[in-house]
Amino acid sequence: MIFETLATTGHEEVVFCHNKDAGLKAIIAIHNTVLGPSLGGLRMWPYKSEQEAIDDVLRLSRGMTYKNAVAGLNLGGGKAVIIGDPARDKSEALFRAFGRFVNSLNGRYITAEDVGIDVNDMEWVFRETSFVTGVHQVHGGSGDPSPFTAFGAMQGLLATLHACYGNEDVGKYRYAVQGAGHVGMEFIKLLREHDAKVYVTDINKELVQRAVDEYGCTAVGLDEIYDTDAEVYSPCALGGTVNEQTLKRLKCKVICGAANNQLANNEIGDEVSRRGIFYAPDYAVNAGGVMNISLEIDGYNRERAMRMMRTIYHNVSRIFEIAKRDGIPTYLAADRLAEERISTIGKLRLPHLGVSAPSFQGRRGS
């Protein structure tokens, strides 16, 4: 059945990684490498079953292909998941064993941090492979990508507000932010800097209390977040929260957040469009993190990263233009934008320019 699934999803390679001594059960999925080596984060999660983990990594890796394509990066899409509880199952051996599997792929997959993973975990992976991003600044890395993801999401929000309301006055509107983790909290901070009204919820009550105490947010229950009077719903946790049950409760005019796979399915995306809700496709909005870490490949530069992330505004605006032009929902417009770039680059047959430039040690000037 796995090959039938891959034929449908278009994946190139799926690697199952196991090390009994380290307690490692991981899956690496490489979706598409037409634009370049696959880049995507490593997620650690206590999946209820192996099938659930497979489904997640296949979905997330495909999303990375589209995210990297829309972001204008010369990178393909990949993703990795470790089956385990990040609160109790982490160890140096676990991540170093994972790093060895990444290294065995010889650069076809470049890893980074995602849900359940932090920069300290990446340090252990980095001991076994150079094909890792998001490492500490002392190694020439960029560190925690969360602030950059949040900054990029703000650029997407500005573009969406402009498309919906004709202005970019963030503080004029109310926001229902679901998820106050690394990215969510940074996004909340940016919203509050504009004096916006923010409702916040999270499964971690301590994070919610921090958002209340430090940023002046209004706490609501996990289920109550869908019933607020917010004009903007911002999913910043796990995906699938815009679904058949929640959509009919949302009063928002805009859906724009940093979570992956926000729409439960394509049918929900169609219904969002029919209701006149301006949905900013997640992988276009949350591309700031991957933009940032991608620069580590050639040598990290923070100023260049910030300039790159401002292109998210243009990308999201372009998606709304395509949706209006072609009369299609924005989730389809985003896919179309990504697929056109992949197809165009895939048809190129560039001349062979030789190996990377030699150092020419000892050469004298003319």
* CA-CA-CA-CA torsion sign (291, 297, 298, 303): positive
- In the chain, at which residue ranges do the beta strands (DSSP E only) sit? 13-19, 24-32, 38-39, 42-45, 76-83, 109-110, 174-178, 197-201, 218-219, 232-235, 254-255, 278-279
Active site residue 172: no
Instruction: Find, among 209, 245, 206, 215, the residue nearest to 227 by Cα.
Output: 245
Q: Which residues contact 357 (CB under 8 A, 6 or more apart)?
A: none
Tokens 């919203």 sit on residue:
191
Please name every residue paired with 284 in a beta bridge, in sequence order, or none if there are none: none
For 143, phi then psi, to 5°, come to 75, -150
Tokens 């080596």 sit on residue:
37
Q: Which of 20, 25, 67, 79 is catalytic?
A: 79
- 12 to 5, 241, 350: CA distances (angstroms): 11, 29, 22
Query: d(Cα 219, Cα 228) in Å, to the nearest integer?
Result: 11
Active-site residue set: 79
